[in-house]
Amino acid sequence: MEQLNKLIDHIVSRVNINLREPLVDVGPYVSDLIPRDSFALYYAFYSITATHPLKFHFRHSSVGGTYFLGKCEVDHSILYKSDIRGDELKRKGSVVKCNGQDIKLRDDEVISIRDSYLMKTLVHNNSHDPENLETFKIANTVSLHYANIHGTDVEGCFLEPFSSVDLSVCHDCAVGAFSYVQAGELSHRRIKPGRVWVKAPGLFEFKYRFPEEVLKKYIRMENYRPVGILMDFFENKKEDFVPIYSAVHPENIIEADGASVSPYAVIKGACSVDKNVLVAQRAYLEDSRLGPGANAQENCYIINSTYEGEDVTAHGGKVIHCNLGRKVFVGFNSFLNGKEDAKITIGSSSIVMPHTIIDAQEAINIPENCLVWGYITRQEDLELHSITLDEFASIKGQFQLGNMSFEGIGAKFVDGFRHRIDHILEENGAFYDGSEETMGHAQKTQDISFNILQPYPEGELKGLYPELAINPLEPSDL
């Protein structure tokens, strides 16, 4: 165990040096966060498929409970029950457009994590940093419970629980709990908790900040540990995952043409999926129905709900007692908490912003084609927390509604969002028609096997893993 303790100290000092005063000392957040014995109890998963780019290498790391898909390098890192998805990594020879130029990749893109400490974090490719097209870097980031990292770089950052850094080049900064940042480079900066910030330089800037009292109820740090309704929600469901993570080959319970339901997802009660549905690993489905092409991403919870089809529940989205029309997007880490007697209905093509909380005290009905954000408990709250997408698209200049402010070209924001939703559906295989071009994750992950990796069980190295490399067979072998 001695070496594990050294490694934790090492990571803390690396991150602290990068963050520098007065940002934050990550030590108290990290030390003793995970019971030291737990490191030796969990195991990691690395997937083998016929379609994903294979390469895995780590050394002097602890990767307990972590799940890897696609090319990965991990050095001197602790990844604890994190999901590292490398299934959209760019391939060697593919061409990327950067500022009007075509750049051809000289290598396959690789996720590289080094001196990092990721706790239940979701990391998703692919790199949007034109300077590092072949490397999805994380460097010496510390990221806590249920944070999301999509995009690349990040480096010496500290991400508090339920924060998201999206499509992001972040570098040295600290992001508060439940903050959503999609704003490029944030050099040596601290982002306060509960902030939703989307910025495209020269085009637009969207800002929302949760009222402090509200945020505290759902997620706050107490003695360096996260508490609140969101943490309780996850705590309560934890046990449901134990049986599937104890089996070498957990069984797929529900199936449909072109659909893929991960054997590492929890399926409870009466659930059904339609064709081309993707239910990712660590997703949770209970008494719910997913229409054609819908997808349920990692760490999302869909309970007592129905999806008409082509709906997206992004990483960490929680959808309870909701009825979703066609092509509804529920953003990262949103919490849509309908009740048996206070259901939430969302009309087709509406977009629920990342990090939105709808905690229904009465039935709530969101019309078609709307943008929704912030904190909503009653129907009347929608007045200050939603707008039709058509209205939003017509904004030019400054716009304010309640705690939300927008500046720039609304059409660019709306088009960008719609384009991204289409891209997500496409990548996930929602439009699969039997042809190879329309294949997505739902089709490509139907046949998957896992290497299950375990650490040293005792001794000085307890909780660490031996050096391990998995490589594809060379053409010369065949």
Can you give the binding site for a second copy, defined by CB under 8 A? 3, 6, 40, 43, 48-51, 54, 59-60, 76, 245-249, 447-462, 464-474, 477-478
Whose Cβ is closer to a second copy: residue 50's or residue 100's? 50
Report the residue number, 48 or 363, with the smaller CB distance to a second copy.
48
Distance of CA 177 to the CA centre of its chain: 15
Nearer to a second copy, 57 or 190 (CB): 57
Coil/strand/helix, residue 208: strand
Q: How far, in Å, CA of 59 to CA of 11, rounded?
A: 14
C-alpha dist (Å) from residue 282 to 240, 248, 475: 10, 15, 34
Closest CA to 107 of 74, 67, 136, 84: 136
- Closer of 270 and 452 to a second copy (Cβ): 452
> Which long-range contacts link 22-31 to residues 24+ away (Cβ below 8 Å)?
23/158, 23/172, 23/173, 23/174, 23/188, 23/190, 24/158, 24/174, 24/190, 26/142, 26/158, 28/224, 29/142, 29/144, 29/158, 29/224, 30/117, 30/142
Sequence letter at residue 126:
N
Residue 37 Cβ vs a second copy, minimum distance, rounded to whole Å: 12
The H or E element that residue 200 is part of is strand 195-200
Q: Taking a C-beta distance cutoff of 8 angstroms, is the pair 3, 461 a contact?
A: yes
Instruction: Give CA–CA dist 315/99, Å, rounded.
Output: 29
Residue closer to a second copy by CB (options 8, 330) is 8
235 versus 251: smaller Cβ distance to a second copy: 251
CB of 40 to a second copy, least distance (A): 8
- The strands making up 72-75's β-sheet, listed across from edge to edge, are 56-59, 72-75, 110-114, 135-139
Sign for the CA dihedral angle at 333, 282, 152, 60 comes to positive
Minimum Å gap between C-beta 9 and a second copy is 13
The one-character DSSP state at 408 is E
Nearest approach, Cβ of residue 1 and a second copy (Å):
11
Dihedral angle over CA of 277, 283, 287, 292, nearest 10:
-10
Residue with Cβ nearer a second copy (63 or 170)? 63
Identity of the residue, 159 or 448, whose beta carbon is nearer to a second copy in the bound complex: 448
Least distance in angstroms from the C-beta of 38 to a second copy:
13
Nearer to a second copy, 116 or 168 (CB): 116
State which residue, 39 or 158, has the beta carbon closest to a second copy: 39
Q: For a second copy, which is the closer residue by CB, 227 or 439?
A: 439
Question: Shortest gap between Cβ of 469 and a second copy (angstroms)?
Answer: 4
DSSP labels, 313-329:
E-TT-EEESEEEEET-E
Residue 443's closest CA among 277, 258, 195? 258
Least distance (Å) between residue 79 CB and a second copy: 17
What would the two tokens of residue 272 be?
């059904």
Least gap, CB of 51 to a second copy (angstroms):
8
Write down the least CB distance from residue 468 to a second copy, Å. 5
* Shortest distance in whole angstroms from residue 477 CB to a second copy: 4
Shortest Å, Cβ 254 to a second copy: 19
CA-CA-CA-CA dihedral for 12, 127, 200, 319, to nearest 10: -80
Give the burial class of 458: count Cβ atoms within 10 A of its Cβ; 0-12 exposed, 13-18 middle, 19 or more buried: exposed
- Cβ closer to a second copy: 43 or 233? 43
Cβ contacts of 100 within 8 Å, gap of 6 or more: none
CB of 285 to a second copy, least distance (A): 22
Number of C-beta neighbours around residue 283 at 10 A: 24
